[in-house]
Amino acid sequence: MGLTYRDSFDVTIVLILIGIVAVYLLVNILYILTLRNTFKAISEQNRTMAPNNTWLLLIPVFNLVWSFIVVNNLSESILKESKVRSFPLSEANPANGTGIAMSVLRCTTVVPLLGFLSGLAAIICWIIYWVQINNYKKAIQTAPYNGTGNDSIIFKF
C-alpha cells in the first residue's frame, strides 16, 4: 500500500509548515542574541535589565508586552552607557521610537483588515530596530570606557 496523492500533499504541507516555523524561530533567536549581546556589552552598572531576560521574547503572546519592556530598558541602558563611553547618539532615546513603533504594530496585527498592513509595517520596523541595536552594540564595543571600575569584565562575551 503506497502513498496516495492526497497523503503526499498532506506530508508536503506539514513539512512546509515545519520549515516556516524553523526559519521563524531561527530568525527570532538571532534577533534575541543581538539584543542580549548588546545588554552584555553595556557595563553592569548601566544595565537596566539582565541580558538573559531577553529570552522571554520567545514566549508567545507574553512577548507582545515584554517587547515594550525590552525596548525601553535597552534604550535607557544604551543612553547611560553612551555617557560613560562618550560615543555620539543620533537621538535622545536610542532606538526607542522605532522599537515602540515595532511593538505597537505587532500588537495591532490581530485587528481584522488592518492586521496584514500593520504586520508588514511591523516587520519593516523590526528590521530597522535590529539594525539600529546592532549598530549601537558595535559603537559600545569599540568606544573607550571612561568610567570607573574594572572594565575587563565588559569585554567578556
* pLDDT for residue 153: 45
Q: Is residue 10 part of a domain?
A: yes
* pLDDT for residue 113: 85
Residue pLDDT, tens place only, 41-68: 999 999 999 999 999 999 999 999 999 9
Q: Is residue 137 part of a domain?
A: yes
SS (H, E, C) 95-112: CHHHHHHHHHHHHHHHCC
Residue pLDDT, tens place only, 120-157: 999 999 999 999 999 999 999 998 877 654 444 444 44
Query: Please, how many CA atoms are within 13 Å of residue 130, restricted to the half-sphere of its CB?
Result: 14
* pLDDT for residue 147: 64
pTM comes to 0.84
Q: CA 139, CA 135: separation in Å to the nearest integer?
A: 6
Residue pLDDT, tens place only, 85-110: 888 888 889 999 999 999 999 999 98
Q: Is residue 53 part of a domain?
A: yes
Q: Is residue 104 part of a domain?
A: yes
Range of the domain at 70: 5-146
Q: CA 101, CA 71: separation in Å to the nearest integer?
A: 10
Q: CA 55, CA 37: separation in Å to the nearest integer?
A: 12
Domain total of the chain: 1
Q: Is residue 32 within 8 Å of 57, Cβ to Cβ?
A: yes
The band of 4, judged by pLDDT with boundaries at 50, 70 and 90, is: low
Q: Is residue 155 part of a domain?
A: no
Q: Is residue 68 part of a domain?
A: yes
Q: Is residue 32 part of a domain?
A: yes
What is the torsional sign of CA 95, 100, 105, 110? positive
49-53, 76-80, 110-114, range with the lowest pLDDT? 110-114
Q: CA 33, CA 54: separation in Å to the nearest integer?
A: 8
Q: Is residue 156 part of a domain?
A: no
Q: CA 128, CA 117: separation in Å to the nearest integer?
A: 17
